[in-house]
Chain A
């Protein structure tokens, strides 16, 4: 708590994905106190859902977990997970942020993370983390390596909250940590600077009428494919299609689904799909040697270090067939999914009777970004992405002194760029703090 007129050299980072985590660690290592606010029960963000990352094909969890653990154990970083920013007042050097700590119905002070409750919970519902393909319990952690490794109850899946039955978790918990009466709590934090790193979402596949409005089960999006490929996912890493669990031999990947489409969806390029689609096709081929991967694309954007080589390797070594053209329509025909596309390089209409289709859907802002921006007093663009102070020269600052932005909340980018962006934001905060005594 600062004196009246004192500049508080403590930072808040909103968003616990790779950008938020990177910024927090930088600031913590720089000697500053950090409060990291994350709306999900544990930190890690989108990287938690990934299986392997391009261009190295490193295991995402192996790269991420050291960072999440470092964040969780860092003496300078205070984690407020399952929490959201409710209100922001004040200015640089003295922001007063009211945070809602959501009721998870588990007392984390008592919980030891033994996991018995999750084992015994009888309720299974489609998991948002697994993009609807897996089932999660009503009491859950996002992953076995969750930081913090403490569960919350989702009342809309919980039998006790819905029907006043069950209560198995309460009975089984050895330390009596279950508390169905828990309420949301509000805390206030005084900080000198805020970094907003709330990440991205994907445009839902249900948006695409010509692709079945999300009703064809074997048409999935990129994050869903990541879950299929993950050892911790719904199929323990085997590439099996959602409808019948069979291993697909003909897999069509479609880039630019909802991107570069000013007439119907998003006009911009989502920047990472060319790379992750190539990655998906390569990972698919690594597991299904006799399968064929087709990638419908308009252009290949592979601008990072090692990216172009990664794409070419996929073509040459894995025999991935790149078809330059869009897909007009997808529909189910018996056990197959019919894909009507075109190969503009030969000029020919192409039809593939696929077993599974993976849509690289457009990156969009998280639905509450605009709202949060409003509370912070910063701007968003027409698509809900946070607006930087100047497009080229001030990419991590906003119009408001003391409030910075980092990661995909500002616009689609890959992990390396998100980390660089976050490092830059942390650096700006440290610069701000250095100016004041």
Chain B
């Protein structure tokens, strides 16, 4: 078991087969290949860098500890399937603790910014608004936006990932965009101050 050597050229699906037979090497290749990509998706879902790291780690550990949850015969691509793991982990996380996203979530970005002080302030303000706008969306709407807009999944793939019908996903997207527009209309004028969008 686990004696078959994994290669960096192996497809994700081949690596999952090896992981099922206990290959930690295959798991390492898969993790190094996809961590940054899935961290981005997790950040868009959570709005927090530290929570995104926890989410990605939990999702990868889940497929290591229970590799049999990967059903190859279903014909799904590994990445599409892994989004589903991430989404479910995120739902579990939210159920465990209903944490509000704070402005501190963008601190890692601020620290890395190479822009000048004035530009940095403007950019950070813009980022803060976008993060706040996303944070006030209900979790399912935020996930729909993340999958379709930021991760580039088709509506059908996103619906499958979220375990909802296509019509339901389209409705989620529509409501999410309406909520974001409302937020923009209410909060883009600095004199008005910020208000949360209605859901």
Please determine whether chains A and B interact with each other in the same assembly: no
**Which residues of B approach A to under 8 Å, CB–CB?**
none
